[in-house]
Amino acid sequence: MAENAEQYPIERHGVIGNMRSAALVAEDGNVDFMCWPDFDSPSVFCSLLDTPQAGCFHVAPDLPEARRLQIYLPGSNVLRTRWISDQAVVELTDLMPVSVHEDEPPRLVRQVKVVNGSANIEVCCRVRHDYNRASTQAVADGRDVAFHAAGQPSLRLAANASLNVEGHSAVARFALKAGQSVEFVLGAHDDPLVVAGQGDQCLQDTLAYWQTWIGHSRYRGRWREQVERSALALKLLTSRKHGGILAAATFGLPEQKGGERNWDYRYTWVRDASFTVYAFMRLGFSEEANAYMRWVRARVSDCCDDEQHLHVMYSAAGSQAVAEQRLEHLAGHAGSRPVRVGNQAYAQKQLDIYGELLDAVYLVNKYGEAISHQGWQNCRQLLDYVCEHWNEADVGIWEMRSAPRHFLHSRLMCWVALDRAIRLAEKRSLPAPFAAWDQHRQAIHADIWQNFWNEEQGHFVQTRHGDTLDAALLLMPLVRFVGATDPQWLATLDAIERTLVRDGMVYRYHCETGGDGLAGGEGAFTACSFWYIECLARAGRLDQAHLEFEQLLRYASPLGLYAEEFDRNGHHLGNTPQALSHLAMISAASFLDRKLGGERTYWQP
């Protein structure tokens, strides 16, 4: 039962969602993380970050010796957990139906079925509102069980099996034979669709939605299954109603077990979401790219109207992210505290976001919707800000919590902002102060070569006149600032390989010398690892890139998902699934496949 459930490793989870909320399902059949009704709402299940008392929804057969496996039904975000033993084969299918109306509250549908033999099934649904801070009462509601907490939205669990209330949880115990099944539906208390008995239709409709969507992918290259799984993960993190793209589905999962780097990623970062546009466009999903650009145009319009700078991050609905707070009552995953919700990074100064945003604007104009007149006027205001502030210190892409510094990556992306704006204006014959923009673009270019190249070390460095490396430098050739085979860039790539790479896993920087203002360390960064592979391929080191890519694929979860980081054994760390990880994987796979085409199909020693 859930009382004895353990905290499962991060990579031993599947994720389901309906583009409004998401839930993590461990391989033991336990939903141990879900926020409701929105991605960034307080959790109702949070045992992943504490004990089962923090909320969980456990459905499993009493088959202690069974082998447990999880798969996604092909081309979908519908998850199936299977128990295989001498006594029985049992399947648990989990999904969140994609509603016809965007405003309908989410529903969690769980259907357990015995395929072969017979088994006793045990169920415990323990809703705990507001990150387990509210007192949740479970009460019988006819055949259903309702969950109420003061000031919180009420939930209701329906089932076509008898439910009882024990310890303010809904519990059930029953036996099933081959071919028999029971379903559970959890949703809003007043939602008329929270009824049991329609699971088969929900399953078919939800499968049809996801399979139709992924069927529009244009990708036909190597690793198609892995690329499409990454695309489905990105789509799941996209707000269907608003168009914002979340950085990840979770909060509080540690970047180091027992460490303090436990952040809330259930928000839309301008940087990460703008990178995601590139991945969607590469696969042919222009609708998602256009929807995000409409979302970001509203944010840009707001900041231009109020004469404010663009914020680093927002909620999926577009409001300002909330201030950071610690949930001291939660023990944390693997004892990693504090667990944080909200994110103080919203108030930081990160100059690189203008480059990622203008790069996305440029790509969408090239392959999607053309920019409007007002949109271009807003872009010009953003460029005015870049011209005025590019030579200032900030906290950088990694959101350092130490004193601001002059980071190469921030400088690089200011160059990208000006470069893409000039290209777009020339291509579309848009009015622009070309001479002034080009003057700043050239000044940034000169500044990077003069002040971020360490002659003694023989490579580019993280900060102005510094001597340390940063994996964000891997973006230099990817954004076409420097040639991928330029000798000085290759020297930097070699230095990164010697200093930050371990078995293809790339660390962002060395925490003890990076000066990020935090105690302890962290894992290798998944996105940087894929950037590294793409840099190898662009440098012509195809055999090495191909081998490293195949190895990195093995570090994915059994379901093909990636969290934010890896530990030294290749196990997952940080929030999951991480959008930046999946979009970097798509980019690396696409480029490497193109380079391998016609040259060689398989890696040869």
Reported as a single tens digit per residue, the pLDDT across 337-361 is 999 999 999 999 999 999 999 999 9
Q: What is the mean pLDDT of residues 372-388?
A: 95
In a domain, residue 417? The reply is yes
How many residues are listed for the chain in this entry?
605
Q: Which of 23, 7, 114 is nearest to 61 (CA)?
A: 114
Tell me what pLDDT residue 6 has. 62
In a domain, residue 604? The reply is no
109 in the same domain as 14: yes
Q: How far apart are CA 142 and CA 125, in angstroms?
A: 17
Q: How far apart are CA 137 and CA 519, in angstroms?
A: 39
What token pair was written down for 458? Answer: 């023989």
> Counting Cβ atoms within 10 Å, is residue 314 exposed (0-12), middle (13-18) or buried (19+)?
buried
490 in the same domain as 422: yes
Tell me what pLDDT residue 583 has. 97
Q: Residue by residue, what is the 3-state secondary structure of 374-393? A: HHHHHHHHHHHHHHHHCCCC
In a domain, residue 537? The reply is yes
Q: Which of 522, 506, 505, 445 is nearest to 470 (CA)?
A: 506
Tell me what pLDDT residue 5 has. 46
Over the stretch 271-326, which tens digit does the pLDDT of each residue have? 999 999 989 999 999 999 999 999 999 999 888 777 678 999 999 999 987 889 99
Q: How many CB atoms lie within 10 A of CB 450?
A: 9
Domain with residue 86: its CATH number is: 2.70.98.40
Evaluate whether 456 touches 493 at the Cβ level (below 8 Å). no
In a domain, residue 333? The reply is no
pLDDT category, 601, cuts 50, 70, 90? Answer: very low
Radius of gyration of the chain (CA): 25
Q: What is the mean pLDDT of residues 8-37?
A: 97
Quick one: what percent of the chain has pLDDT higher than 90? 90
Tell me what pLDDT residue 321 has. 77
Q: Which of 53, 34, 54, 55 is nearest to 108 (CA)?
A: 34
Q: How far apart are CA 519 and CA 591, in angstroms?
A: 37
Structural domain containing residue 500: 220-324+338-596
Phi and psi based region of residue 480 (left: phi greater than 0; alpha: psi -120 to 50; beta: remaining)? left
The 10 Å CB-count burial string (b at 16+, else e) for 47-78 is bbbbbbebbbbbbbbbbeebebebebbebbbb
Domain with residue 251: its CATH number is: 1.50.10.10
Tell me what pLDDT residue 512 has. 74
Over the stretch 435-469, which tens digit does the pLDDT of each residue have? 999 999 999 999 999 999 999 999 999 999 999 99
195 in the same domain as 239: no
What token pair was written down for 7? Answer: 């905290």
Over the stretch 516-571, which tens digit does the pLDDT of each residue have? 888 889 999 999 999 999 999 999 999 999 999 999 999 999 999 999 999 999 99
Separation in Å, CA 60 to CA 45, 124, 426: 17, 9, 61
244 in the same domain as 146: no
In a domain, residue 209? The reply is no
Evaluate whether 265 touches 247 at the Cβ level (below 8 Å). yes
Query: What totals of helices (H) and strands (E) does the chain contain, helices first?
Result: 15, 26
260 in the same domain as 181: no
Q: How far apart are CA 52 and CA 273, in angstroms?
A: 33
- Angle between helix 373-389 and 286-305 (nearest 10): 60
Separation in Å, CA 116 to CA 94, 113, 181, 220, 411: 19, 9, 12, 37, 61
Strands 501-502 and 524-525, how do they pair?
unpaired
Q: Which is it for the CA torsion 584, 586, 591, 595, positive or negative?
A: positive
At position 140, the amino acid (one-letter code) is A
In a domain, residue 591? The reply is yes
What token pair was written down for 509? Answer: 């920087």
Tell me what pLDDT residue 9 has. 96
Q: Which one of 174, 201, 228 terminates a domain?
A: 201
Least-confidence region, from 43-47, 149-153, 348-352, 594-598: 594-598
Q: Which one of 172, 201, 230 terminates a domain?
A: 201
156 in the same domain as 82: yes
Q: How far apart are CA 344 and CA 5, in angstroms?
A: 33
pLDDT category, 596, cuts 50, 70, 90? Answer: very high
290 in the same domain as 231: yes
135 in the same domain as 82: yes
Q: What is the mean pLDDT of residues 185-211?
A: 96
73 in the same domain as 192: yes
Over the stretch 202-241, which tens digit does the pLDDT of each residue have? 999 999 999 999 999 999 999 999 999 999 999 999 999 9
Q: Which is it for the CA torsion 382, 384, 387, 389, positive or negative?
A: negative
Phi and psi based region of residue 528 (left: phi greater than 0; alpha: psi -120 to 50; beta: remaining)? alpha
Tell me what pLDDT residue 263 has. 97
Q: How far apart are CA 301 and CA 374, in angstroms?
A: 9
In a domain, residue 603? The reply is no
Tell me what pLDDT residue 307 has. 66
Q: Phi/psi at 185 (nearest 5 deg)?
A: -130, 125
pLDDT category, 422, cuts 50, 70, 90? Answer: very high
pLDDT category, 589, cuts 50, 70, 90? Answer: very high
What token pair was written down for 198? Answer: 């329609």
Number of domains in the chain: 2
Q: Which of 380, 318, 310, 319 is nearest to 352 (CA)?
A: 310
At position 402, the amino acid (one-letter code) is S
The string of DSSP letters for 435-488 reads: HHHHHHHHHHHHHHHHHSEETTTTEE-SBTT-----GGGGHHHHTTSS-TT-HH
171 in the same domain as 237: no
Sheet containing 565-566: give its strands across. Answer: 501-502, 505-506, 524-525, 565-566, 572-573
407 in the same domain as 262: yes
pLDDT category, 369, cuts 50, 70, 90? Answer: confident
Q: Which one of 201, 228, 243 terminates a domain?
A: 201
**pTM for this entry:** 0.96
pLDDT category, 514, cuts 50, 70, 90? Answer: low
Over the stretch 463-506, which tens digit does the pLDDT of each residue have? 999 999 999 999 999 999 999 999 999 999 999 999 999 999 99
**Per-residue pLDDT at 598 exceeds 50:** no
In a domain, residue 266? The reply is yes
CA 188 remoteness from chain centre: 26
428 in the same domain as 362: yes
